[in-house]
């Protein structure tokens, strides 16, 4: 394989990786808009790559667990 083929494959891999990261960030942004979720790492309100349940979300989960809701 020549140098141009290797370079093209690397660029395609990078583009796919960026697309995956953008999709994950968009999904996280949608999750973080819920009242019980807080975004830990993201850009603005649209992209969030790491999130967790805040105290409101944890309380809601505890109540659902207590009454057997799923």
Say if residue 70's pLDDT is above 60.
Answer: no
In this predicted model, what pLDDT tens digit does every residue of 33-57 receive, in sequence order?
888 888 999 987 789 999 888 888 8
What pLDDT does residue 2 have? 60
CA distance 34 to 14: 31
Q: How many CA atoms lie within 13 A of 65 on its CB side?
A: 6
Say if residue 69's pLDDT is above 70.
Answer: no
In this predicted model, what pLDDT tens digit does every residue of 12-32 receive, in sequence order?
999 999 999 999 999 999 988
What pLDDT does residue 65 have? 87
> Domain coordinates of the chain in residue numbers?
3-66
């Amino acid at each position: 394989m020549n140098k141009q083929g290797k370079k093209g494959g690397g660029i395609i891999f990078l583009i796919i990786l960026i697309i995956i990261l953008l999709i994950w960030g968009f999904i996280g942004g949608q999750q973080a808009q819920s009242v019980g979720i807080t975004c830990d790492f993201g850009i603005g309100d649209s992209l969030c790559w790491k999130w967790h349940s805040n105290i409101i979300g944890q309380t809601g989960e505890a109540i659902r667990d207590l009454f057997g809701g799923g």
